[in-house]
Structure 1
Amino acid sequence: MLKKREDIDQKYKWNLDSLYPSDQAWEDDYKLAEAMFEELKKMEGSILSSSENFKKNLELSLDSSRKVSRIATYAKMKQDENTKDSHYQELNGRASNLGVKFSEATSYIVPEMMMGDEETIRNYLKEDGLKLYTQHVNDILRARPHTLTPGEEAIMAGASELFTAPSTAFGMLNGADLKFPNVGKDSLTHGSFIPFMMKKDRAVREEAFKKYYKVFDEHKNTFASLLSSEVKKNIFNAKARKHTSARACALHDNNVPESVYDNLIEAVHKNLPAMHRYIDLRKKMLRVDKLRPFDLYVPLIDDVDMKYAYEDGRDTVLKSLEILGDDYLGPVRDAFEDSWIDVYENEGKRSGAYSWGTYDSKPYILLNYHDELGDVFTLTHEMGHSMHSYLTRKNQPYVYGNYSIFVAEVASTTNEALLNKYLLDNVKEKNERLYLLNNYLENFRGTVFRQTMFAEFERDIHAYAADGGALTADQLCKMYRDLNAKYYGESLDIDAELDLEWARIPHFYYNFYVFQYATGFSSAVALADKMVNEGQQAVSDYKSFLGAGCSDYPIEVLKAAGVDMTTPEPVDNALNVFNALVEEMEKLINL
């Protein structure tokens, strides 16, 4: 039975006082936010009339955003403590409504900047009180060539709900309407599919695999129609906004050059022989004549039970991060000692894990810790996010006190890479070492190789459609099969069912998002390796990256840390680590 929240020791629960000491303080700020919105509305039509008005509007809109963020974060985190609590459900709903009011109160700001005289804005930014906002305003004005007339923008806004139709329909079909048969007496669902693929009984794995994809085969034409509509929508948006391609349009927000995308694919292609070696190693370790797609997830190492009580996990994380120095470890120790972390599951608590907070609060961590090795990796992963937030807020003003989604997973995955190194350096049992090696290799396979394959598929289907090709189910299956053959090599016998995997991947409705998983992971592995091998200067550069926030574009921020994603080098360096891990595993098992 799960404990009630009040029965869990206070030292294992976060203290949200740095957000608000009481609900009444939250209510007081809520009223202040609404008053600030009224002030913002009064400024509509006049923000460029003088540098004073321009500065006042920027400051008031940012102050309002800061307050809304704090209000919303407190309400959601209190609700996450116990999702059944109706009081915090209500507060969370009110916070969402406040966010809508904020959007309405500030909706005129960007259009006025876009329609205003750029020379006037540039002159304002030269004044002492406004120089701070140069990067912020530049990022807004960067979209001018892709901003339509007010009437056209109104039409695009009115069609926004229609544009989400393919994704919404996919979600309903995939999540609500598909029904899967049982495997034996056990239910087959999206959630149970991978656990089935990890079962030792190969016949059960094959049965689950074939039954699962048979359902997608029965609906493949509908899935193809939805994905084709999603691609056409992206192409239409790009043309309407005068971008050269759907991909260029999608990468514009983070100012990421398309070359970064292509360099990722190029570097992974160059390193595919290492992936093929790993797949061949899996085939040999499983002792099968033909490796099949339902053999890709089953654990290679049995009978390894690596348990870590929370305090042991905490100590392991601290030791693994020692390379980062006392100025980094100090706040990490504070996190453990000063109630940043909500550790254990309780009745009604939200599942999963996250790092969250605001510019003015502690960067809190929610866990549901169960003494498994995976929980230690989750702990250090979320601590990476929290330290990224902590150092960004310590070093940047509010306007730059966050970081781009393009680099959002770098700090968390760097922590994981350092934990992997620490565990491998200190493990004594051969089976435990093999387990750790295989766990790390699977992370590479799933995050670098697989997500890059997804990114290549996404690039290719958009190019095919832009050239007038029809994305039928048969065409999508052919393109996907060719990529699987390229990425997995000759050691994998590709069952026809795998050709349909594209139909179940929600990320293909995220508009060129998935490549960032691979670039983030590659950057992190390259950074961790650089710190281990190059020492203090690399550590110092990395911490500067953590403190940069969005004071510059993400590609430039990463360059300052020694990782230039406009070249294939970081991915090459990360995959050198992968290759070394494969070689070590081969030697350990003597195959």
Structure 2
Amino acid sequence: MSKWDLSLFYPNLEAWDEDFKKMPKHIELLASFKGKLNNFEDFLAFHKAEEDATNLLYRLYGYIHLNSDLNLKDSIKSSKNQQMMIMLSELGQKTSYVSPEIIAIGEEKVMSFVEKDKFLKTYKFQMEKLFLQQKHVLSDDQEQIMANFGSVRQIPSSLYQGIAIIDAVDQEVTFKDGTKKTITSSNYRSILPTLKDPEDRKLVFEAAFKRYKDNKSAFAATYNLVLQQLKANYKSRGYNSSLEAALFRNNIPVEVYKNLMDVASENTEGIKRYLALRKKHLKLETYHTYDRFLTLVEDDTKYSFEESRKIFFESIAHLDKDFIKNQKDAVKDGFVDAFPAEGKRTGAYSSGFYGFHPYILLNHDETLDSLFTLAHESGHSAHTLFSNQNQPMASADYTIFVAEIASTFNEHNLLDYLVKTSKTKEQKLALLEKAIDGIMSTFFRQTLFATYEYKANELVEQGMPITEQSLSKIMIDLYKHFYDIDITTENGKEYVWAYIPHLFHTPFYVYQYATSFSASLKIYDNVKNNKPQAMENFLGLLKSGGSDYPVNQAKKAGADLTNKETFMAVIKRFNELVDELEKTLEQ
């Protein structure tokens, strides 16, 4: 079954409505502990009440969030999803007193509470994190004011969804052979590789990016709101920058981010060599950014969803039995919604909630990419399963920083399996291209976007105006530096910043793809080369959930991200793959 079974949350919307009515009582109960946390019994009672409320919250949010994503045009479910977000905002407002009140009690006394009770001991690391951030937690009154803006912080994300998906009009194009096709933001990537004529590819690209060009001012204003909110937050809380504010919560050194940008920016020669190879062997007069979807060899292999699942299982068959079990559980029937549908959210994700099996959203199109996406999202869901099986609620929620290690480990492993089982030169070329493109997209492209975020936030910090021109200039310069491509010659490409939803939904997110890719490659190499305890160390990361800081978790698993050499290992692998591709092409 390639559809979600959401009845594990609720049988219908009416049952959801009944539980939703219970949330205000939970919120009021949590609010009633204000001023009482200095007392051990109340401190304990509050945290137990909070877990009860969170259990209900996960059930409510999980059901309506997933249901809404299946059809963003369903106004009833979208409305209920908005109700959920308003309720979350109210919860934030009513419990905004908690952190400043706990900090006011003092670390010594709070830790004595934690050590006194078995249930509270599960909160030890969370309390350590809270006191680490002590200087950035405001007074009770100030935290209340910040919490009052909780619902406002959701506006940029809602605006983006409205402009980019809900109100967007898909374009129909007519190809040179007379055939017509409706181009959407989810299908254009799979259509481009099938088009031999450069003018047809241009048509598809321009149709896909038309919504971003036509609404460039609205997208810029929306992104400016994101940037201004980040600035208001870091200024209010006493950070030095939006970047520091984003990283500090997980104790990630700013140097990790800057080292990533430096290594990628200083090592673009391999990219340009690869693009030159592509241009030559694809016989292109001009290489455009959308030509990255063209393949060097013809490969019309279709990977059905069931076949993809079978291949993925074969690729992991040699690994640890517990690892295999959770990967298979991750993609079992009822927990994957596999295929595109009208109004369905684009892209792919794994959504997990403590106490519930994680769910995977795909838009499977039977390409090799969709096979890798299945393996990627399975890595996320298996990570959630490992964490939930080994951690209490207080420390089960792992960071995005380590999340991508679990997912990209699966991709490294799947690639090696496919290369090993390839039988022809064409298959080898296709897989080498896939490996190189994986580094291009996950390491270089995501670092380019991370650098864009860094520079856009710099403009705000310097008091510079945020317009579609200023945002596009950053992208134009970065594409020229990384790829030696002038994107102003591609109608709409300079607004690629509006095409990336993570920039609007989850600022300072995308860099973690690159850091995690670097870490997972190192960890995977350790496992592949049978380094002592390598698999055990990796399983330790999966099981550790959010019980440690992510840089520490990666280091314990075998990858030190404070060292530039971890990132340079990706550069080395990339250049070796390009060498092998060139050699194979010339055979």
- 1:256 lines up with 2:255 in the alignment: no
Distance 1:133 1:19 in 2: 27
Matches within 5 A, 1:473-512: 475-489=470-484, 492=485, 495-497=488-490, 498-502=493-497, 504-509=499-504, 510-512=506-508
CA contact (8 A) 2:97 2:143 kept: no
Partner of 1:409, secondary structure, is helix
CA contact (8 A) 2:164 2:212 kept: no
Partner of 2:281, secondary structure, is helix
Q: Structure 2: which amino acid aligns with 1:406?
A: F
Instruction: Give the aligned partner of residue 177 of structure 2.
Output: none
Instruction: Give the aligned partner of residue 422 of structure 2.
Output: 427
The alpha-carbon deviation at position 421 of structure 1 amounts to 0.8
1:505-531 deviations in Å (ceiling 9; x for gaps): 444434322212222222223322221
- 1:127 lines up with 2:116 in the alignment: yes
The alpha-carbon deviation at position 542 of structure 1 amounts to 0.5
Q: Structure 1: which amino acid aligns with 2:241?
A: S
The alpha-carbon deviation at position 308 of structure 1 amounts to 4.0
Distance 2:393 2:228 in 1: 38
Q: Structure 1: which amino acid aligns with 2:48?
A: E
Instruction: Give the aligned partner of residue 135 of structure 2.
Output: 145
Distance 1:224 1:349 in 2: 24
- 1:55 lines up with 2:50 in the alignment: no
Number of positions where the alignment pairs a residue of Structure 1 with one of Structure 2: 576
Q: With structure 1 as the length reference, what TM-score do the two structures score?
A: 0.82
CA contact (8 A) 1:402 1:550 kept: yes
Q: With structure 2 as the length reference, what TM-score do the two structures score?
A: 0.83
Partner of 1:355, secondary structure, is strand
Mark the CA change 1:157 to 1:412 in structure 2 (over 3 Å): closer, same or farther: same
Task: Give the % identical residues.
Answer: 32
CA contact (8 A) 1:290 1:493 kept: no
The alpha-carbon deviation at position 123 of structure 1 amounts to 3.3
Mark the CA change 1:370 to 1:175 in structure 2 (over 3 Å): closer, same or farther: closer
Residue 435 of structure 2: which of 413, 420, 440 is its match? 440
Mark the CA change 1:242 to 1:345 in structure 2 (over 3 Å): closer, same or farther: closer
Mark the CA change 1:174 to 1:131 in structure 2 (over 3 Å): closer, same or farther: closer
CA contact (8 A) 2:96 2:140 kept: no
Instruction: Give the aligned partner of residue 285 of structure 1.
Output: 281
Distance 1:143 1:333 in 2: 39
The alpha-carbon deviation at position 30 of structure 1 amounts to 7.0
1:229-254 deviations in Å (ceiling 9; x for gaps): 64444334322221111211122233
The alpha-carbon deviation at position 60 of structure 1 amounts to 2.1
CA contact (8 A) 2:92 2:147 kept: no
Distance 2:162 2:404 in 1: 29
Distance 1:22 1:575 in 2: 51
Matches within 5 A, 1:135-534: 135-159=125-149, 183-184=173-174, 190-191=185-186, 194=189, 197-198=192-193, 199-207=195-203, 227=223, 230-302=226-298, 304-310=299-305, 312-333=307-328, 339=333, 341-342=335-336, 354-365=349-360, 372-471=367-466, 475-489=470-484, 492=485, 495-497=488-490, 498-502=493-497, 504-509=499-504, 510-534=506-530
Partner of 1:322, secondary structure, is coil
Distance 1:75 1:217 in 2: 32
Distance 2:340 2:167 in 1: 32
Unaligned runs of 5+ in 2: 175-179
CA contact (8 A) 2:340 2:364 kept: no
The alpha-carbon deviation at position 547 of structure 1 amounts to 0.4
Distance 1:31 1:454 in 2: 41
CA contact (8 A) 1:380 1:416 kept: yes
CA contact (8 A) 1:68 1:98 kept: no
CA contact (8 A) 2:100 2:138 kept: no
Mark the CA change 1:187 to 1:31 in structure 2 (over 3 Å): closer, same or farther: closer
Instruction: Give the aligned partner of residue 3 of structure 1.
Output: none
Deviates more, 1:186-195 or 1:542-551: 186-195
The alpha-carbon deviation at position 585 of structure 1 amounts to 1.4
CA contact (8 A) 1:291 1:493 kept: no
Aligned Cα root-mean-square deviation (Å)? 4.1
Partner of 1:54, secondary structure, is helix
The alpha-carbon deviation at position 460 of structure 1 amounts to 2.3
CA contact (8 A) 2:443 2:513 kept: yes
Mark the CA change 1:208 to 1:79 in structure 2 (over 3 Å): closer, same or farther: closer
1:520-562 deviations in Å (ceiling 9; x for gaps): 2222233222211244521111110000000011111111101
1:488-508 deviations in Å (ceiling 9; x for gaps): 14xx46544454544544444
Residue 586 of structure 2: which of 576, 587, 590 is its match? 590
Mark the CA change 1:416 to 1:215 in structure 2 (over 3 Å): closer, same or farther: closer
1:399-442 deviations in Å (ceiling 9; x for gaps): 11121122222212211211111001111122222222222322
Deviates more, 1:444-453 or 1:15-24: 15-24
Q: Structure 1: which amino acid aligns with 2:561?
A: M
CA contact (8 A) 1:342 1:366 kept: yes
Task: Choose between structure 1 and 2 for higher RCO, CA contacts under 8 A separated by at least 6 residues.
Answer: 1
Distance 2:529 2:228 in 1: 47
Distance 1:193 1:310 in 2: 20
CA contact (8 A) 1:340 1:363 kept: no
